[in-house]
Structure 1
Amino acid sequence: TIVIGAHRDHFGRPAGLWFPGADDNASGTAIVLEVARALGKLGLRPQQSILFLSFSGHERDSLGSRLYTTKPVTPLGSTKAMINIDHVGAGDGVLILRVAEFKKSTLKEAGYVVGLVRKLDYYGFLPGGDDEPFKEAGIPTVSIASGGAHPHMHQPTDTADTINPENLRNIARYVLALTWQLANTQ
């Protein structure tokens, strides 16, 4: 099983002030939905199952992803990889890949497929994302974010008009290529 996930929650309305969360993380949720839609329209069956997850509780110690890893839909032992998508709607368009036990060559190959290999920037694992519970369970993870400044992150100004559609398009293409590649290799 290949897991693709993103958290859908944000801060909500603390003290009556609205935090919409367009970049963090409606953008990640949109990518998950778009990749699911694109794979569904493909009409081809991958060799391995693909599971699309939308987590809540991210801003509260990633409760949703932690719950999933304690009560998974499919056994964690059969989960080959987890792709986490978080705040990808703003920034400079560079794809920040935070990796745990994931082969760089696999990530690079997907970048070549969609012409984005020069926009990939690799880092080690960084705690605090919804990929963390999967890493703790021994599953290879990659958390994808867009690089550069995210000036509206965790602010009431994180609204849809601050999103860069080209970032979303490129990251959706990359996640689609990576997912298809992972789901069709042993």
Structure 2
Amino acid sequence: MYKEFYRRRFYITLLLIGLGVNFLIAQEEITEKELKDHIVFLTSNKNSGRYPGGKINRKIVSYIIKDFKKAGVSSFNESYKQTFTAKLRVKKGAIPKKEVKTWNVIGLIEGNDPELKKEYVVLGAHYDHLGTGGGPSSKSDKIAIHHGADDNASGTSALLEIAEKLMANKSALKRSVLLVAFGAEEQGLLGSRYFVENSVVPLSQIKLMINMDMVGRLNGENHVYMGGAGTFPNGVELMKELGPPLNLSPIVHAGSVGGSDHVSFYEKNISVLGIHTGGHPQYHTPEDTVDLINFKGQKKVCEYVYSTIMKVAGSDYKMEFIYQE
């Protein structure tokens, strides 16, 4: 009787170990399914366009935190949340809106080198969008849910998937990685501006900020666009050489730093990369929906960003800020 009990327990233990190994292997891969699952959630009608403030904003933040925890990403200090207030934009002449409370979500993957782990690569994407439109950023007069699938549910989903792969390979990191989901970008880069003015680490220790804003619409020529590659040593050459192994054709600009959250970092003399897959007619309209996302292409862009992080954070790659006109 006892022999049979221990024999069964032994085989059950082996089965659980096997399942655990498979789970870890699954988390190491960036998958089109998980990218889609994240975007489907973020763009759902229930989330009403992810406008800053209120219950929906809190729900989105909780979703991001839950996924960080699931991947094993640590909070920085005691909380994943960095709270700030956002003044909401209105069209000229319209009645001002009250400021709202919103959040940046910050995760940490610590590097392993005794000295280099004190330096950071920031990987960021904004999770907010335009709600039901009608504000100064909307390109449509329709009062309807602006789903923001490409802008920027794509960047948020990429952030979560790259975080999983970085955690699975964290032993290869020398520098540390801060993962930041920014709030209120559409209100004037408010989340990233708050972050750099209230940084959780000294700004001098942030060696590169990579921003993903609209990375879900890779075109037939496999063009991935970026500005700021000349703000760190050999950045242009590095970003060009990382493309072909992934069947990507990078369009690399040394300067052209503008338009999204990486600007806040560049203004503080921090090297940046602003990565996107190009504009489209659905930008800032209700028609920016999940059915138009190129998930196969988005996965390639995620792998490209992951490779960039591993080059910079996984080695003693020389980093210094280079100003660009």
Distance 1:55 1:26 in 2: 12
Distance 2:122 2:170 in 1: 20
In structure 2, the residue matched to 1:79 is 206
Which secondary structure does the structure 2 equivalent of 1:125 belong to?
Answer: coil
Distance 1:119 1:17 in 2: 36
In structure 2, the residue matched to 1:179 is 309
Distance 1:75 1:42 in 2: 26
In structure 2, the residue matched to 1:10 is 129
Distance 1:55 1:84 in 2: 10
In structure 2, the residue matched to 1:146 is 277
Cα displacement string for residues 58-97 of structure 1 (whole angstroms, at most 9, x for unaligned residues): 1111000000001111111011100000111114131001
1:151, CA displacement in angstroms?
2.4
Distance 1:115 1:164 in 2: 15
Q: For structure 2, list consecutive stretches of 5 or more residues without a partner in the other structure.
A: 1-119, 135-142, 317-325
Distance 1:26 1:135 in 2: 23
In structure 2, the residue matched to 1:51 is 178
Is the Cα contact below 8 Å between 1:3 and 1:81 reproduced in 2? yes
In structure 1, the residue matched to 2:299 is 169
Is the Cα contact below 8 Å between 1:110 and 1:181 reproduced in 2? no
1:39, CA displacement in angstroms?
1.1
Letter in 2 for 1:94: H
Residues 1:101 and 2:231 are matched in the alignment: yes
Residues 1:31 and 2:169 are matched in the alignment: no
Residues 1:131 and 2:262 are matched in the alignment: yes
Distance 2:177 2:167 in 1: 11
Is the Cα contact below 8 Å between 1:89 and 1:164 reproduced in 2? yes
Cα displacement string for residues 99-142 of structure 1 (whole angstroms, at most 9, x for unaligned residues): 15132122234335x434x5100122232210001000111101
Q: For structure 1, list consecutive stretches of 5 or more residues without a partner in the other structure.
A: none
Distance 1:169 1:140 in 2: 25
TM norm structure 1: 0.91
Letter in 2 for 1:10: H
CA RMSD of aligned residues (A): 1.6
Higher relative contact order (CA 8 A, sep 6+): 1
1:150, CA displacement in angstroms?
1.8
Distance 2:170 2:269 in 1: 32
Distance 2:289 2:262 in 1: 25
Is the Cα contact below 8 Å between 2:173 and 2:315 reproduced in 1? no
Distance 2:242 2:218 in 1: 21
Is the Cα contact below 8 Å between 1:23 and 1:89 reproduced in 2? yes
Distance 2:181 2:170 in 1: 23
1:153, CA displacement in angstroms?
1.4
Residues paired across the two proteins, number: 183
Cα displacement string for residues 138-170 of structure 1 (whole angstroms, at most 9, x for unaligned residues): 1110100013x5221111011111101122111
Point out 4+ residue stretches in structure 1 off by more than 4 angstroms: none
Which secondary structure does the structure 1 equivalent of 2:180 belong to?
Answer: strand
Is the Cα contact below 8 Å between 1:146 and 1:167 reproduced in 2? no
Cα displacement string for residues 24-43 of structure 1 (whole angstroms, at most 9, x for unaligned residues): 00001111111101111225
In structure 1, the residue matched to 2:84 is none
Distance 2:314 2:256 in 1: 25
